[in-house]
């Protein structure tokens, strides 16, 4: 009888996997969430670097409601405020101001504090979804999504599903709100001398979908591609290219790749490059604007 109880679907779930199967399931599910954040929230909504097919955009919006409870307009507003006031006391999560330990371990709390400011959200959330689903479900009941996910995963995987759910609840707060916002402004290498302290954490953006290339992003914030050197890898850009091939995405802006040419004399192209370069420096350093993208 006891053995029959342990074999009950209520304990083991409708799907039974080997131990490594549950690990792979957790990694796959959290990876979809990472892709949703970097493609939908970050590149599509916050910076308008690409357009997504409405069905793809809504899948990402639904998935984030289900797995994180984050509201699109709040995430976008906080991120745009970060760019607008980077490394100042008004920056919602600068480790240069608040300390690396605070941002790394309390990044989600810093996000919640900023998102709870109506004037901040109103100022920086323009252009985000405001349809009926957003107003009456996603925005009004953000906790409902993660609660529904908890029930679904318990039914599918039993008690292992509860562990997978817990990993999902911690994944974005730690890796995105903590590591990217914290370490991404604290340690790593720089390709561009931006006015902020952004760093590329590693040159291969695999675990967090390309967000590891944080200095590249701050140098060209409206670029859909975060990699800039030939040896850098932006996994999110790979997904964007795949969606493009399928007709489900369109890239709007890209950062120019650096090209070094050796010339013996000054010509019109050289003059143009120098003038445009100086204008870009003036725009970024003098007026706080983002560099122009090609």
What is residue 147's predicted lDDT score, i.e. its pLDDT?
98
Same domain for 238 and 290, yes or no, is no
Mean pLDDT of the chain: 90
Same domain for 194 and 235, yes or no, is yes
Same domain for 290 and 197, yes or no, is no
Which region among 8-12, 119-123, 128-132, 158-162 has the lowest average model confidence (pLDDT)? 8-12
Q: Exposed, middle or buried by CB within 10 Å (0-12, 13-18, 19+), for 182?
A: buried
- With CA atoms as reference, report the closest residue to 156 among 15, 5, 10: 15
Q: Is residue 150 helix, strand or coil?
A: helix
Same domain for 273 and 151, yes or no, is no
Same domain for 213 and 185, yes or no, is yes
What is residue 277's predicted lDDT score, i.e. its pLDDT?
63
Six-digit token pair at 275?
Answer: 């003038």
* Number of domains composing the chain: 2
Same domain for 186 and 282, yes or no, is no
What is residue 282's predicted lDDT score, i.e. its pLDDT?
55
The rounded percent of the chain whose pLDDT value lies above 70 is: 85
What is residue 267's predicted lDDT score, i.e. its pLDDT?
75
Helix (H) or strand (E) holding 2: helix 2-6
Same domain for 267 and 196, yes or no, is no
Same domain for 221 and 193, yes or no, is yes
Tens digit of each residue's pLDDT (9 = 90 or more) over 190-247? 999 999 999 999 999 999 999 999 999 999 999 999 999 999 999 999 999 999 999 9
Same domain for 15 and 160, yes or no, is yes
Same domain for 237 and 120, yes or no, is yes
Between 2 and 55, the more confident residue is 55
Q: How crowded is residue 108: how many other Cβ atoms within 10 Å of its Cβ?
A: 20
Same domain for 225 and 288, yes or no, is no
**Domain, as residue range, for 291:** 259-294
- The model's pTM: 0.86
Same domain for 183 and 282, yes or no, is no
């Amino acid at each position: 009888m006891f053995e029959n109880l342990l074999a009950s679907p209520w304990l083991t779930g409708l799907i039974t996997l080997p131990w490594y199967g549950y690990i792979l399931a957790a990694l796959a599910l959290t990876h979809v969430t990472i892709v949703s954040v970097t493609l939908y929230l970050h590149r599509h909504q916050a910076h308008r670097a690409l357009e997504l097919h409405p069905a793809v955009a809504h899948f990402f919006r639904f998935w984030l409601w289900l797995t994180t409870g984050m509201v699109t307009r709040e995430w976008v507003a906080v991120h745009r405020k970060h760019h607008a006031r980077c490394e100042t006391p008004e920056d919602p999560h600068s480790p240069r101001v608040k300390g690396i330990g605070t941002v790394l371990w309390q990044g989600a709390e810093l996000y919640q504090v900023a998102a709870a400011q109506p004037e901040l959200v109103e100022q920086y959330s323009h252009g985000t979804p405001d349809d009926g689903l957003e107003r009456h479900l996603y925005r009004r009941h953000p906790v409902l999504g993660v609660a529904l996910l908890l029930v679904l995963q318990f039914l599918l995987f039993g008690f292992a599903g509860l562990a997978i759910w817990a990993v999902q609840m911690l994944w974005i707060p730690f890796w995105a709100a903590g590591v990217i916002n914290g370490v991404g402004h604290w340690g790593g290498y720089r390709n561009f001398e931006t006015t902020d302290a952004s760093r590329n954490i590693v040159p291969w953006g695999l675990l967090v979908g390309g967000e590891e290339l944080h200095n590249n992003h701050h140098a060209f914030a409206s670029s859909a591609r975060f990699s800039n050197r030939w040896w850098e890898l932006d996994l999110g850009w790979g997904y964007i290219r795949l969606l493009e091939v399928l007709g489900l995405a369109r890239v709007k802006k890209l950062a120019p790749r650096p090209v070094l040419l050796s010339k013996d004399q000054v010509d019109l192209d050289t003059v143009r490059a120098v003038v445009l370069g100086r204008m870009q420096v003036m725009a970024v350093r003098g007026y706080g604007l983002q560099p122009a993208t090609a």
